[in-house]
Structure 1
Amino acid sequence: MKSFTAGSDASAPPQPAAAKAASKVADLKIRVLSALVLGPVVLLAVWAGGWVFRGLLAVSALVAIGEWVLMVASDRTPEAFWHSLLAMLVVMVVYALGGPAAALAVAVALGFIVQASAGGSTGSWLLGLGIPYVTAGVAGLAWLRENPGLPLVIFCLFAVWATDIGAYAAGRAIGGPKLAPRISPKKTWAGLIGGMVAAGVFGVAVAFAAGAAQPWLALLVAPLLAVVGQAGDLFESWVKRRFNVKDSSNLIPGHGGLLDRIDGLLVAAPVLAVFHATLGKSWQWW
């Protein structure tokens, strides 16, 4: 077995129905316990802001890029792993000194450099993409916390979390046509709609609680974030299916890797940041 592994293999022998049911119950318990432990830690860091939140984002970025490399580097080369971690450290320093635009520009450049340094050993152009991909999500979250402030980053988090909960509930209760069967067979159109509804409800609640100038606009913004978040989820699912892995890692019991938990957020956060800095600013919605 190689020393670098991206998680369990997607192909596994079928289990009996009773064993599957027991396994699902056990997995659900582990997932709930993990969420109860990690959720308050994340929310406390978000509330504290400053270097506490930046520190959480920096650690998350390093873990996420490490998981990304382990998924897409075909021979799991340590060189690609350490080059990507070093590149992400440089990007975090650039963000602290020059802000999100500078960090994104450096991330793109370093992505090309990491890809070129790996040569043909990784077997995928996706290796270099990981650095700007993770950077965009982290920079979006940092910008939301530092500029509009705490309420808007809470809005973003709750919208994405509500999407996951609503999609899971509606998908299980209603079922129906698959959303993207070749990429993520369990996702349904009913789940997407349920996620949009849940995001709208939670989003407008946060907007009213925060005293937003036009809180009812959250009924438009939050469902759109739900769609964006689901697109981010599908993108990571496509990457995992391409490289035949089930989870990005085994870091979080019952949840897989960090990327498996924040794939929607990595896309939703920068989209919300761009919206708030452009149309949202002119609409004065928050």
Structure 2
Amino acid sequence: MTPAPAPPRRFGDLAVRSVIAVIFAATGFGAIWAGGGWGLAFVMIAGGIMAWEWRRIAARPGDRVLAGFQALAVAGAVFVAFHGRIVEAAVFLFAVATLGAAVDIARARSPWWSLAGALYLGAALSFFVLLLGSPQHGLQVIIWLVLVVVATDIGAYFSGRLIGGPKLWPRVSPNKTWAGGIGGVTLAAVAAALVGLGAGRGVGGGALLAAVLVSAISQAGDFAESAYKRKFDKKDSGRLLPGHGGLLDRLDGMIAATLAVGVLSLIRPELPIWAW
């Protein structure tokens, strides 16, 4: 009699995921903390890689070279936005991404996924360097953003694995549960409260609401990337990070959350989001 297969371990991938996540986080945080050219270089390289991976998901054999247009559009827009030239960054992003889309059209390919990905990534990462470069509270806002997203990931991972239960969107992401989603939002709110207390501001209701919203949008970004990969029958965006897949797989929630924080910061520019 053939023995029954052993059930999958609940946290079987935790060790590899944790080691890679710590190494990547340390590298990214070190570059951002150093600021200046180090932070800019990290965001530009990360943006170029994610744009390449985004194009790769939808690419057919022989088409991947066209990902260079999207990588250049995103990295270039980040560089221009870092120097405070917001309008020029938007023009550069749209022009180069559209040029890549035009090449797709000329080759009888559908251009819209690649164009949308470049604009999405370029806008989010341009917001990131603009927030980081803010002379008053830029680094604090970025730290708040990172803590909220990391808390969301940790809360969702452990709540989902320990509690289980009904799935959020099984057709797109069969491992994600309602328990995980709620756990992620809850831990994100706790992280925001701790930031407020640590900064001597207390627990602001506005900051908690912002953390809940940003956490939910972060999880929505994760689902959106999963749906995009499933449409083109891809499991991962790449193989750069063992246990995580590609860089886009690791930062999909951060990209969506950055876009949300950037927009929210425009709504209330007089206060950093962690002090609302």
The alignment yields a C-alpha RMSD, in angstroms, of: 2.4
Where do residues 179-198 of structure 1 align in structure 2 (5 Å cutoff)? 179-198=168-187
Match of 1:145 in 2: 132
Where do residues 117-128 of structure 1 align in structure 2 (5 Å cutoff)? 117-119=103-105, 120-123=107-110, 125-128=112-115
1:60 aligns with 2:56: no
Identity %: 35
Where do residues 1-286 of structure 1 align in structure 2 (5 Å cutoff)? 17-18=5-6, 20-21=8-9, 25=12, 27-119=13-105, 120-123=107-110, 125-147=112-134, 148-212=137-201, 215-279=204-268, 281=270, 285=275
SS of residue matched to 1:179: strand
Higher relative contact order (CA 8 A, sep 6+): 1
1:110–1:131 Cα contact (<8 Å) kept: no
How far apart, in 2, do the equivalents of 1:234 and 1:51 lie?
A: 32
In the TM superposition, what is the alpha-carbon distance from 1:213 to its structure 2 partner?
7.8
In the TM superposition, what is the alpha-carbon distance from 1:46 to its structure 2 partner?
2.1
How far apart, in 2, do the equivalents of 1:251 and 1:21 lie?
A: 24
In the TM superposition, what is the alpha-carbon distance from 1:99 to its structure 2 partner?
3.1
In the TM superposition, what is the alpha-carbon distance from 1:87 to its structure 2 partner?
2.8
| Count of aligned positions | 269
Q: 1:179 to 1:53 in 2, by over 3 A?
A: same
How far apart, in 1, do the equivalents of 2:224 and 2:14 lie?
A: 24
User: Residues 199-221 of structure 1: CA distance to partner in whole angstroms, max 9, x if unpaired?
Assistant: 00011112222344874432211
User: Residues 109-161 of structure 1: CA distance to partner in whole angstroms, max 9, x if unpaired?
Assistant: 33222111112544452011121111122112212211132111010001011
Unaligned runs of 5+ in 1: 1-15
Q: 1:176 to 1:226 in 2, by over 3 A?
A: same
TM-score, structure 2 normalization: 0.88
Q: 1:163 to 1:106 in 2, by over 3 A?
A: same
Q: Which one-letter code corresponds to 1:131 in the other structure?
A: A
